[in-house]
Amino acid sequence: MNLITDHVKPVRPVKVLQFGEGGFLRGFVDWMLQKLNDAGHWTGSVAVVQPIDMGMCDMLSAQNCLYTHIIRGAEGVEKTLVDVIDHCVKPYEDFEGYLKHAENPDLRFIVSNTTESGIVFEADNKPTDVPPHSFPAKLTLLLKRRFDCGLGGLILIPCELIDRNGDNLKKCVLQYADLWELGAEFTKWVEQENVFCNTLVDRINTGYPRDEKLDLGYEDKMVNTSEYFHLWVIETDHDLEAELPFTKSGLNVIVTKDALERYRTRKVRLLNGAHTSMVAHALLSGLQTVRECMEDEAMHSFLETCLYQEIIPTLDLPQEELKTYAADVLTRFANPYIKHYLADISLNSISKYKVRVLPSVLEYKVRFGSYPKNLVKGLARILQFYREGTPRDDASVIDYIRSHTNDEILANTAFWGEDLTCLSEVLADAYTSK
């Protein structure tokens, strides 16, 4: 039996309109919605909108919108046939067909992942464009059609990797409503009848494994792969769990009214901060990938100290929750199916250190009266790597580091946003230690 061609897809009402057909949404949102259906906790399907002219909807449609999602990691391998996508729509070919989705009384949710540059206001977009270029402009016309039909509002859950993504999407929609003079009643409907959620998403989706030969037993040109770990933090006052029972279905989804920034801080400090703290140290030690770091006893110990002894004590989330997340980070770093090159992670290490690591360093000093040795050593190795290695950064940043002393670099507020000469002594010790 060919699971793709022979599978009978259940008929479910289209409750979700999804902007984006790429590997992330298919391996994150659609996989979760499949789990809800399979658990019997929700009944619904997805209509996928191809937000740009060129995309993968034709390939997806050729398989009746079915695909295999494979989760792989140290935990094992899990394979799921995803049949939650009902159909695809291409606004650049059938804009009216796209707008007709607004007339669906079953429609309840909008999800999106149109890249970090997708949620933007482009003033030259017009309501007569077929279609307008920007994602928020396309969305505004869809919402206007729904308003004109006298239907209720929607719950919008953007997944773009920008801060306050829901707030920014709402702002763009209201800007178009004003620019296009869509009326005060429509603006009121957007603001009062629709729910714009802010979100944090976290899962490594590795897409189609083109350098591997998968033994599925059938052909699937849209196969998608990811790690086991997944986290979706959704900030809203709406009782989202009553409509999408993620937690009941065993999914790592946190619906919160006001704690999104705490979880964002957790991710940035622990996951991203760990990457940035170890990357130059590891490269100077002759390592090439994150997994090699996990297999190297000294680097593994360095990383554990950073996570458990120097970063976690500076955060205010429950300690057991932080330790669990740190353990997940180590497991993810050790994933044998993901080849994450340190050279790629090293891009713009100076600015990354400022955002991801420096807050932990300074907070540690406030709480404990001294500076965390390994996190400062991470900075010392970054400076050493910029001088001796092959850093990937703006040429002016590299030239400055190579032509100035450590004390001068620490005093450069353009790098750090403040004068860091307070770190001079501890950095000098770290710079000479191995």
H/E element, 278: helix 273-284
CATH class assigned to 14-258: alpha beta
Q: What is the pLDDT of residue 432?
A: 72
CA-to-CA distance for 326 and 309, rounded, in angstroms?
11
Q: What is the pLDDT of residue 259?
A: 87
Give the DSSP letter of residue 1: -
Please give the model's pTM, rounded to 2 decimal places. Answer: 0.85
Which CATH code, of 1.10.1030.10, 3.30.420.40, 1.10.1040.10, 3.20.20.140, is assigned to 261-432? 1.10.1040.10
Per run of 10 residues, the mean pLDDT along the chain (length 434 residues) is: 79 97 94 97 97 92 95 91 97 97 98 86 96 96 98 97 93 98 98 97 84 83 93 97 96 94 92 95 95 95 98 93 94 88 90 94 97 96 95 93 96 95 92 68
* Cβ neighbours of residue 310 closer than 8 Å, sequence gap 6 or more: 360, 364, 372, 373, 374, 375
Q: What is the pLDDT of residue 408?
A: 96
Give whole-number Cα distances, 429 to 36, 46, 339, 416, in Å: 54, 57, 33, 20
User: Is there a contact between 363 and 273 (Cβ–Cβ < 8 Å)?
Assistant: no
Q: What is the pLDDT of residue 215?
A: 81
DSSP bridge partners of 289: 341
CA-to-CA distance for 236 and 218, rounded, in angstroms?
42
In SS3 terms, 73-101 reads as ECCEEEEEEECCEEEEECCCCCHHHHHHH
Q: Domain locations in the chain?
A: 14-258, 261-432
User: Is there a contact between 48 and 88 (Cβ–Cβ < 8 Å)?
Assistant: yes
